[in-house]
Amino acid sequence: MLRTIRATRKQFVAGIHTTPQPDRNPKLPPGKLFINNEWVDASSGQTFTVKNPTNEQVVTELALGDRGDVDMAVAAAKEAFKLRSEWRTMDASHRGYLINKLADFMTRDMSHLTSLEVLECGKPYLATLRGDIQWAIKSFRHFAGYADKNNGVTASVDGNFIAYSRSEPVGVVGSICAWNFATLILSWKLAQLLAAGCTTVVKPSQYSSLATLHVGELIKEAGFPPGVVNIVTGPGKIGSAIVDHNDVDCITFTGSTPVGRDIYRKGSQNMKRLVLELGGKSPNIILRDANVDKAVEHAHFASFHNMGQCCCAGSRTFVHESMYDEFLEKIKHRIAKKKIGDPFDLDVDHGPQMTKEQADIVMRYIEQGKKEGATCEVGGNRIDRPGYFVQPTLFTNVKDNMTIAKEEIFGPVMQLFSYKTIEEVIERANDTEFGLASSVFGSNIDEINTLVQAIRAGSVWVNCYFMITPQAPFGGFKMSGIGREGSSHGMQAFLEMKSVYVKTPTKNS
């Protein structure tokens, strides 16, 4: 086994420099629910359809869970969390070993996981392999090292007492995941809660369940005890049932702000611990001293990565007036160079929107932008081919109060603005209900530091974009959510702190 683990870790390092070929017809995981380390049918016997967004063809049918299945999954997680269960009595270092072992198997199946995401999500293969999947593996490896480091502290207290604190797992966690980065978002939740010693019921998006179900297979293969991780597939009502369940102690959710607001209201009724990573309308600020060519590439990635389906997409691009005209011509040229097509092709960097519904939403925003007087410089239409393809789109002459400037579009639509001063762009950047991410591109350190401190967002990326690593916390201000994922800050949602006082003998006792 040790030889196998070393081999797979070497494969991971090698995989950074080589490209495993995609599998257009990957072996699909069982189309069932994963409960107690077993594959079971939904209690209703019903299924739902998974479609390929690239060609609109049916990929498979998956079990359609309901509230009864959630009850069964929560009961399994609760049993696995019992005081003298295998999971609770396991050495913390061994929990870390199992998490690392899961990462080893994900490394082995890296191309397979990627192919599953491309098949059901339409994500470009190379970007998913080199980005999502490898970062998911890194997340598990990072938090594997945390498993035996959830230490309390001793305290110097008045009187004849020894006082210390214990850091204990919160209990059963409901993990509700989004569809846009299925495996990566799953890793942000599982890695931390498993390291903390919790158990979980996972609800993947109904649009991106295949890779998550394969991770369920790897959970069992790695040797996690039954009930530690359970997966219930189906629509949004599954998430509601998890949130409402009295035996679920914590909810970690990634998704839209309206759904997050509903979870906040319901979860607060029985004091569940909550981590909500929600929507955004992130500003991307190009300083007057920026290299224009590099700034264009930076802004292009910020707006169009994953077809704009990123909660932290830097779609509000603010360019200093001194370079605005040059920037506009170059960004139009850069967008025109995008290779749109079958995401399994290695030279394609832009695939379809995830669902027909999402493509329709994006098109409604584009039409609204035109109606309100913004100028569509590039794109603005559906692509005439099978699948849910929308042209990468650029708007100019956008006013800050226009719908496309205020609301999260979640699609490939960039809004380009001109600004004069740092004070002006700070006010406009912060003029949003969201506060998830932001970016500054340039070299003037004084202006950069001013913006870093002034922008009200959970992340400020300087001369880079979409850097989310397990070593640093990620989350939002304002309506972009509460709590953090990643780092020791992210661990806190899955831990309870207990204080212990021990009376010591005195001379007269």
Q: Which residues are catalytic?
A: 277
- Contact predicate 87/81, CB 8 Å: yes
Contact predicate 437/312, CB 8 Å: yes
Of 129, 120, 125, 119, the C-alpha closest to 25 is: 119
Pairing, β 199-203 against β 229-231: parallel
Are the C-beta atoms of 391 and 381 separated by less than 8 Å?
yes
- In 3D space, the residue among 198, 265, 188 whose CA is nearest the CA of residue 230 turns out to be 198
CA atoms within 13 A on the CB side of 459: 30
Q: CB 322: neighbour CB atoms within 10 A? A: 12
Instruction: Write the burial class of residue 498 (CB in 10 Å: 0-12 exposed, 13-18 middle, 19+ buried).
Output: exposed
How far is the C-alpha of 69 from the C-alpha of 47, rounded, in Å? Answer: 13
> From its phi and psi, is residue 241 left (phi > 0), alpha (psi between -120 and 50) or beta?
alpha
Cα–Cα separations (whole angstroms), residue 210 to 44, 110, 114, 157, 230: 20, 14, 10, 53, 14
